Amino acid sequence: MRSVLLVILIFFVMVLAICSVVAFRSRKLENKALSFLLFALIPPILGNIIVIGSTKSNIAEIGYYIYFIGMDLTMLALANFTFQYCQLKSKGGKAYFFIIRLLMLIDVVSYAFNPVFHHMFATRLTMVDGLRYLTFVPFFGQTCHRLLDYSVFLSAILIFFYKVVKAPTIYAERYTVILLSMLFGGAWQTFYIFSRTPLDFSMIGFAVFGLLTFYFTLYYRPLRLLDKMLADYASQKSEALYFFSGFNECIWANESGLDFLNITNKDFSLVPAKLRETFGEVQRRRGDWQVQETITQNGKTRYFIQEKHLVTDKKGAIIGSLFSVRDNTEDQLALKREVYKASHDPLTGIYNSMRLMERIRERLDDNPDTAYTVVFLDVDHFKLINDVYGRDVGDDMLRLIAARLPLCVGPDGLYGRIAADSFGMCLPSADFDEDVLKEKFSDIVVDKGTLVQKLVVHLGVYDVEERDLEVSVMLDRAHMALQTIKHDRHASVAHYDNAMRDNTLWGQTISSEVHEAIETGQIRPYLQPITDSAGRLIGAEALVRWIHPVHGFLPPYRFIPIFEQNGLIADVDRHIWRCACELLKEWQAKGYDQFISINISPNDFYFMDIEAVLNDLVKTYGIQPEKLRVEITETVMMTDADHRMGMLSRLRQAGFIIEMDDFGSGYSSLNLLNDMPVDVLKIDMGFLHKKKNITRSEVILRHTINMAKDLGIVSLTEGVETASQFEMLSGMGCELFQGYYFSKPISVEDFYAFCRERGVMMDEK
Ligand code: C2E
Ligand code: CA
Ligand code: CA
């Protein structure tokens, strides 16, 4: 019996030691206090082990000392644990600890004097299991010791008891389990004291108390609390929740769930049928799933997310399921609004360009056997309508056009707004009828009191032949066709054809080659001589040429219009200007007095600071500015006139000579002449080359020349091809001449030869 108890106690000591370490390492709030308690339980048991294991009285006595003093330590640890576990933080607590620590100190000191005064206990020899066993005989001091330990123990029990009563029911459990294990250990101990058996079995109860406390503190989770919390949480959720058993009966539903199905009496059995009634067969689906459901009732559409989640046991068997329904109508409507906003034009309510292109793509892909036509519509002079009639009228016009589009494309067509005043359409080619389309827009009139104007639209048409092209390119092609009639008020429909495609390809090719061509001198100026009325050579106009290694000699019309559109014109012009400056520098060094006129494209203004570039050039090459004449056309002044006039004035002040090119070919020449700071008027060759009304042209020429003279402006006539033209113009008083009669534009080398013939620039070159 004795050895069995010994083994059991040794086992418990080891287990307690391990638990103490585990507790120490845990993250629980009370871990330190728990670890200390488990550790403090070891000395009393150890003391008992020594007592049970020894037959000598002095060793047994040591065991008893360890037992009793260890008991003090245990109680101290218990008090500490109690305070931590019950989260007591009162001032009384500090006093309490002070007193028990003091009393325990006295108790320990008192044991120290026991060998002298024998007032605590003595050992007495008996026989257990046929061996010597030393039990102990308590004296007065021992009773005091017990009283002290019991008081601490009792106070711990009382604190726990208080907590059980006072704490919310859900938490009472947490204290009850510890209280019960304390009562269990205490009862066993008490039983031993009164049973007066020599062997102390109560130590087992002691250890068991320690282990129960260990388990409950670290591992016990209050499941009822969890239940309650989950139920509370689920009840409060706005989404409808239904819990089903493995047999598909509803065991619980939250408030929202019952409300959703109009169940008033908490009769959960109605749930499955009602759900099927509302959502139909989707309810029968197996496994975990989620669906977005749309339900329309009384003309109102609502959206729900239904979700089913299966609950399985450890082996994977289905033991129940959770079903939830969440009304996400607001989210869905917001999403739809967003999608609508992102795909529709706010002004007209039709597709925006991005969405239109996506839809056209889909339409083409879905109907590979149907031929389609893409149409680009542009309102003529829409900016003018906006300016003259106001934005509101402009907006009304756009809405009016948008409203006509569905009539144009028919049931299988698509349409949308591409930009401010342009729209796109796509319809089966079989439905495309040019006349119908024209007719649809023929009667739109802007009417504002006295101002009545017919709205003109232009249509560009591309028959989709290359279906794999990006839709934006198809629209570009339709737009390109439109561009060809943009300024023609009579033609309203233009079709994209192969010539246009070739033109595009051509544009791409030469654009990609332009920089290399500049660097290698393929692009260079030709010079066309300019003479005075005596036929003397006084200067030349620099006209660009591209000597292309593959395509041969390219005159400006083959590339200038393209570069004017894509901005490369600025690079070409800067190059020609620089070449002109190089020549002038050379001429100046040799004492030649010739000037060179350079051309400025209206589009140069968008891509560079012309004033700065020109000033910079004359400075770099050290040439006199008046030798670099600047030709601009009147179209330059169509935009940003004030600013550009200012620039021309400054250039004149800097010494440049400004020439107005193609004078008389535009609309507002005379008007402009009033304000424009020019030195030379280059009269358009159109007047000379007129086949009809020749005399009238001559009248205009004469008067233009006279007017120039009266304004103090030098006149120059271009396109002089015959001696008689030259004589006539000289007779009219024209001062300068340029034309095939003298020379075509020629290469720089040929120009030198020409000069030598004429007796100017005699130097060998
Ligand atoms: P433009 O500035 O009006 O140049 C005069 C054009 O008339 C030149 O055509 C010239 O070859 C041509 N021409 C000269 N005399 C006669 C004649 O007696 N009869 C006929 N029928 N034509 C004559 P080109 O060189 O083909 O240039 C055409 C246009 O290209 C130029 O018109 C100018 O607007 C533009 N251009 C030429 N070089 C440049 C340049 O370096 N930069 C810019 N931006 N434009 C240029
Ligand atoms: Ca010119
Ligand atoms: Ca000209």
695 vs 762: which has the higher pLDDT: 695
* Nearest by Cα to 69 from 17, 18, 121, 20: 121
pLDDT score at 765: 44
Element (H, E) at 716: strand 714-717
Give the dihedral sign, CA 57/59/65/70: negative
pLDDT tops 70 at residue 253: yes
Question: How buried is residue 635: exposed, middle or buried, by Cβ count under 10 Å (0-12/13-18/19+)?
Answer: middle
Strand order in the sheet with 493-495: 351-352, 414-419, 422-428, 372-379, 457-463, 493-495
Task: Report which bound ligand comes closest to the CA of 739.
Answer: 1
Say if CB 370 and CB 432 are below 8 A apart. no
Say if CB 171 and CB 161 are below 8 A apart. no
Q: How many CB atoms lie within 10 A of CB 30?
A: 20
Ligand 1 neighbour 659 (Cβ under 6 A): no
Compute the residue count for the chain: 765
DSSP 656: P
Instruction: State how far the alpha carbon of 60 is from the alpha carbons of 81, 112, 136, in Å.
Output: 31, 16, 9
Q: Output the residue whose Cα is nearest ligand 1's atom 43.
A: 599
Confidence tier at 752 by pLDDT (50, 70, 90): very high
Query: What is the Å distance from ligand 1's center to 630 Cα?
Result: 14
Confidence tier at 741 by pLDDT (50, 70, 90): very high
Please state, for a pLDDT cut of 70, what percent of the chain lies above it. 98
pLDDT tops 60 at residue 764: no
Strands (E), 19-168: 121-128, 131-138
Ligand 1 neighbour 555 (Cβ under 6 A): yes
Ligand 1 neighbour 622 (Cβ under 6 A): no
Please provide the average confidence, as pLDDT, over all residues in the chain.
90
Instruction: Tell me the per-residue pLDDT of 660-683, one tens digit each, with 9 for 90 and over.
Output: 999 988 766 677 788 888 999 999
Report the distance separating Cα 661 and Cα 721, nearest Å: 18
Query: What is the Å distance from ligand 2's center to 571 Cα?
Result: 17
pLDDT score at 43: 96
List the single range of 261-275, 369-383, 472-486, 568-582 with lowest mean pLDDT. Answer: 261-275
Ligand 1 neighbour 725 (Cβ under 6 A): no
Say if CB 360 and CB 414 are below 8 A apart. yes
Instruction: Tell me the per-residue pLDDT of 275-309, one tens digit each, with 9 for 90 and over.
Output: 888 887 666 677 888 888 888 878 888 899 989 99
Query: What is the Å distance from ligand 2's center to 662 Cα?
Result: 7
Task: Report which bound ligand comes closest to the CA of 716.
Answer: 3
Query: What is the Å distance from ligand 2's center to 489 Cα?
Result: 28
Atom of ligand 1 nearest to the CA of 526: 25
Instruction: State how far the alpha carbon of 704 is from the alpha carbons of 592, 684, 690, 713, 723, in Å.
Output: 31, 11, 16, 11, 21
pLDDT tops 80 at residue 460: yes
pLDDT tops 60 at residue 328: yes
DSSP 712: T
Say if CB 85 and CB 33 are below 8 A apart. yes
Give the dihedral sign, CA 651/596/690/729: positive
Report all structural domains of the chain as residue ranges with CATH numbers, in order of start: 2-220 (1.20.1070.10), 225-333 (3.30.450.20), 347-502 (3.30.70.270), 506-757 (3.20.20.450)
Report the distance separating Cα 480 and Cα 462, nearest Å: 9
Rg (CA), the chain: 54
Query: What is the Å distance from ligand 3's center to 681 Cα?
Result: 10
pLDDT score at 188: 82
